[in-house]
Amino acid sequence: GKGRNVWYCIGYTLACADSDVVALHDCDITTYRKEMLARLVYPVVNPNFSYQFCKGYYPRIAEGKLNGRVTRLLVTPLLKALQKTFGHSDYVEYLQGFRYPLAGEFAMRTSILPGMRIPSDWGLEIGTLSEAWRNLGRHAVCQVDIADSYDHKHQPLSEDDAARGLSRMSTDIAKALFRKLATEGKVLSNEHFRTLKATYYRIALDLIEMYYNDAVMNGLTLDRHKEEKAVELFAANIVEAGTTFLENPMETPFIPNWSRVQSAFPDAMREIRNAVEADLA
């Protein structure tokens, strides 16, 4: 999966020991320009800045449409609903501060990589933000506008297959949030998840009205029917994610960090480097 690939790449980067900064970005960007990478890494490579983690953001508008469905219709209303249902959370407030929390573009100082736990599922983006919160704190984290326009290949909603597309993505993201809230001391139950679903649904519908108005004012199109269908699916998946979380409290979605790997297998870095060199020979 995506998270496992990132984990392997981080391991190889650490094995090479020749980089101060590592950057990640999606490989399906259709509007990619080299300036995006320069903007993304600048805050962490500038020696006068103290940032160790940088998240990218950009407008999700393409072909006259408002995109970014999972952020707009799931993450934004869900974070609002979590604050309303469970009370104030510094962690949730931290996530709300990101303009595009699901952006696949982020850069880090390599010094923080050994302690970073990487999720193996679609919760990668939320998971890395959570790790930055846990390991670094707000003072070392920033976000930067990396593009005036951005588009990539779009995932299907996948209403009929919960293991694919935005359906699976929404479930994994919700589980990632629930797991983190549990580590923050929040008590989660079936009753909480039913209340959360209702709260989320109302907030999401209100946001659709706002998104529609924004689209009209800016000469864009927005299909209210498709938007509400997505919200209905995401609402159901919030409950499903909650049920899965409660039924599998010992689930460990994070791949062991590289500090642990090196402790268990002292020769791992040398073997990884040698394996890649052999492949490239």
List, in order of start, the domains of the chain with CATH numbers. 2-280 (3.90.550)
Percent of the chain with pLDDT over 70: 100
According to DSSP, residue 29 is labeled: B
64-80 pLDDT tens trace: 999 999 999 999 999 99
Residues 6+ apart with CB under 8 A from 193: 238, 239, 242, 243
Average pLDDT for 114-142: 91
Q: pLDDT at position 4, please? A: 87
Six-digit token string for 225: 């029917």
Q: pLDDT at position 1, please? A: 59
Cα angle value 3/192/82 (rounded, 5°): 60
Q: Residue 122: pLDDT above 90? A: no
CA-closest candidate to residue 110, choices 18, 37, 27:
18
Average pLDDT for 158-175: 90
226-264 pLDDT tens trace: 999 999 999 999 999 999 999 987 777 789 999 999 999
Global pTM value: 0.93
Average pLDDT for 192-196: 97
In the numeric block, the tokens 């998104």 are attached to 211
β-sheet bridge partners, residue 58: none
In the numeric block, the tokens 């993304």 are attached to 40
CA-closest candidate to residue 223, choices 78, 66, 34, 15:
66
- Do the Cβ atoms of 9 and 75 come closer than 8 Å? no
